[in-house]
């Protein structure tokens, strides 16, 4: 009811603002990096596996796509990410030395549970879940688990569950890196420090809300939007587009920035805002030629720039600068303004933000 909402208009807004607390709770008690964070016997499993298969749906699958970048670059372990509803029905090549990782807020998503069982039926017994509900079917079904402490999430569009999943997946990456001899004590200390600073860093990002509200007024009048990201931030662009379509009903698509010229550029007109996520200076150089093309077509660019980039606002280019540069953990910060952009755009359009049409919080039937 209204009392629980406090100063917020919707649960989604409340949950976006709860993220510093949700992350602090999720990381509470993590004194050091160790496989045992994932349960008894995790060391033996982590020693045995030589690849990771991530299974999830919706927003949770974008957390998985982000983790693939971490797992390959930091832990050096080959990783694939599959949409659960696809994996469960396709012929794939099983490998018993795979760590099967499911990611699910609810722990009850029918397709993700079925995908897990399918993997097991193919002889893959090493199972781990990143889940927000400790009593869920998924936690019962998996041998290992990391329970995120986002708290109950009411808004259908997932926000705090996503950022806490990313934190859990980052811990998993570090634990696998440790077992594989790729994490020195010095690196471990630096990583823990960066993780512990996340709640404060997130608070600074939330303070960008007034600037994002100003942008949302432009977006509310559009029917389409394009989101661009590269590398670690490509899944964040996907998540930004998903949030916008789920709650504002604006058609949105995400592309890796380098693909703009291979198709979506044909869609750019003055009616198509182009959101770019996290360009560092290297990306900006490449982006500038795309930018000319976007602007030649009257397109408007909305850039969430890293703190140390040199791009400035000019006609046709709107820039919001992120407070801090955050290295590998940057996706946890960059997703937050995209959540706020979707939220305020939906508010401006007057949609039912917490219960968007046709969608359910958890999909427990196929
Ligand atoms: C539904 C929700 C999404 C969620 C997805 C997966 O579609 O609306 O917000 O990402 O299910 O849910 P899970 O509980 O498995 O993370």
What pLDDT is stored for residue 1 in this prediction?
54
Instruction: Write down the ipTM of this complex.
Output: 0.98
In angstroms, what is the span from residue 280 Cα to ligand 1's centroid? 31
Name the residue with the closest Cα to ligand 1, atom 15: 104
Q: Is the CB of 112 under 6 A from ligand 1?
A: yes
Residue 228, φ and ψ in degrees, nearest 5: -120, 140
Q: Is the CB of 216 under 6 A from ligand 1?
A: no
What pLDDT is stored for residue 27 in this prediction?
98
Q: What is the DSSP letter of 292?
A: H
Which DSSP string do the residues of 151-217 spell out, in sequence order? ----SSS-SHHHHHHHHHHHHHHHHHHHHTT---HHHHHHHHHHHHHHHHHHHHHHTTHHHHHHHHH
| Residues contacting 245, CB < 8 A, separation 6+ | 251, 252
Ligand 1 atom showing the smallest separation from residue 61 Cα: 10
In angstroms, what is the span from residue 338 Cα to ligand 1's centroid? 18
Name the residue with the closest Cα to ligand 1, atom 8: 361
CB 56 within 8 A of CB 63: yes
Which DSSP string do the residues of 85-130 spell out, in sequence order? HHHTTS-----TTEEEEEEESSS--HHHHHHHHHHHHTT---EEEE
Alpha-carbon gap, residue 150 to 163, rounded angstroms: 9
pTM of the shown model? 0.97
Instruction: List the beta bridge partners of residue 314.
Output: 317
| Apex 220 CA angle, 216 and 223, nearest 5 | 130
pLDDT digits (tens, 9 = 90+) for 114-143: 999 999 999 999 999 999 999 999 999 999
Q: Is the CB of 59 under 6 A from ligand 1?
A: yes
Q: Is the CB of 148 under 6 A from ligand 1?
A: no
Q: Is the CB of 363 under 6 A from ligand 1?
A: yes
Ligand 1 atom showing the smallest separation from residue 165 Cα: 16
What pLDDT is stored for residue 287 in this prediction?
67
Q: Is the CB of 159 under 6 A from ligand 1?
A: no
Residues annotated catalytic, as ranges: 361
Q: What is the DSSP letter of 269?
A: S
CA end-to-end distance (rounded Å), the chain: 31
What pLDDT is stored for residue 91 in this prediction?
97
What pLDDT is stored for residue 325 in this prediction?
81
Alpha-carbon gap, residue 256 to 239, rounded angstroms: 13
Hey, is 250 helix, strand or coil?
A: coil
Q: How far is CA 258 from CA 50, 67, 113, 230, in A?
A: 31, 21, 35, 8
CB 23 within 8 A of CB 167: yes
Q: Is the CB of 114 under 6 A from ligand 1?
A: no
In this prediction, the residues of the chain whose per-residue pLDDT falls under 70 are 1-3, 281-284, 287-288, 291
In angstroms, what is the span from residue 340 Cα to ligand 1's centroid? 19
pLDDT digits (tens, 9 = 90+) for 98-116: 999 999 999 999 999 999 9
Alpha-carbon gap, residue 171 to 70, rounded angstroms: 10
Alpha-carbon gap, residue 248 to 219, rounded angstroms: 10
Name the residue with the closest Cα to ligand 1, atom 2: 361
In angstroms, what is the span from residue 72 Cα to ligand 1's centroid? 25
Ligand 1 atom showing the smallest separation from residue 157 Cα: 9
Ligand 1 atom showing the smallest separation from residue 59 Cα: 10
Q: Is the CB of 77 under 6 A from ligand 1?
A: no
Name the residue with the closest Cα to ligand 1, atom 5: 58
CB 320 within 8 A of CB 275: no
Q: Is the CB of 58 under 6 A from ligand 1?
A: yes
What pLDDT is stored for residue 7 in this prediction?
95
Q: What is the 3-state secondary structure (H, E, C) of 21-73?
A: HHHHHHHCCCCCCCHHHHCCCHHHHHHHCCEEEEEECHHHHHHHHHHHHHHHH
CA 349 to chain centre: 25
Ligand 1 atom showing the smallest separation from residue 112 Cα: 15
């Amino acid at each position: 009811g209204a009392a629980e909402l406090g100063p917020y208009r919707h649960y989604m807004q409340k949950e976006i603002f709860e993220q510093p607390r949700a992350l602090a709770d999720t990381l509470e008690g993590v004194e050091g990096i160790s496989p045992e964070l994932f349960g008894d016997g995790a060391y033996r499993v982590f020693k045995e596996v030589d690849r990771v298969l991530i299974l999830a749906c919706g927003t949770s699958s974008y957390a998985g796509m982000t983790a693939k970048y971490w797992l390959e670059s930091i832990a050096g372990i080959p990783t694939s990410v599959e949409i659960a509803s696809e994996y469960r029905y396709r012929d794939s090549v099983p490998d018993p030395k795979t760590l099967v990782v499911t990611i699910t807020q609810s722990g009850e998503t029918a397709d993700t549970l079925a995908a897990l069982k399918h993997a097991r039926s193919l002889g893959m017994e090493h199972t781990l879940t990143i889940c927000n509900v400790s009593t869920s079917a998924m936690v019962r079904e998996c041998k290992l688990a990391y329970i995120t402490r986002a708290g109950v999430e009411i808004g259908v569009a997932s926000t705090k569950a996503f950022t806490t999943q990313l934190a859990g997946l980052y811990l998993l990456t570090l634990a696998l890196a440790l077992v594989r001899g790729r994490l020195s004590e010095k690196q471990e200390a630096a990583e823990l420090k960066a993780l512990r600073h996340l709640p404060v860093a997130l608070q600074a990002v939330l303070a960008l809300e007034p600037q994002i509200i100003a942008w949302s007024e432009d977006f509310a009048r559009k029917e389409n939007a394009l989101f661009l990201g590269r590398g670690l931030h490509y899944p964040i662009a996907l998540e930004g587009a998903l949030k916008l379509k789920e709650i504002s009903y604006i058609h949105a698509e995400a592309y890796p920035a380098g693909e703009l010229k291979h198709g979506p550029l044909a869609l750019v007109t003055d009616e198509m805002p182009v959101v770019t996520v996290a360009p560092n200076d290297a990306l900006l150089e490449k982006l500038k030629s795309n930018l000319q093309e976007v602007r030649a077509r009257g397109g408007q660019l909305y850039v969430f720039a890293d703190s140390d980039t040199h791009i400035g606002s000019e006609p046709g280019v709107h820039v919001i600068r992120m407070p801090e540069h955050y290295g590998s953990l940057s996706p946890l910060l960059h997703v937050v303004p995209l959540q706020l952009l979707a939220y305020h755009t939906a508010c401006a359009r007057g949609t039912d933000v917490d219960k968007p049409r046709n969608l359910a919080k958890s999909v427990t039937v196929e």
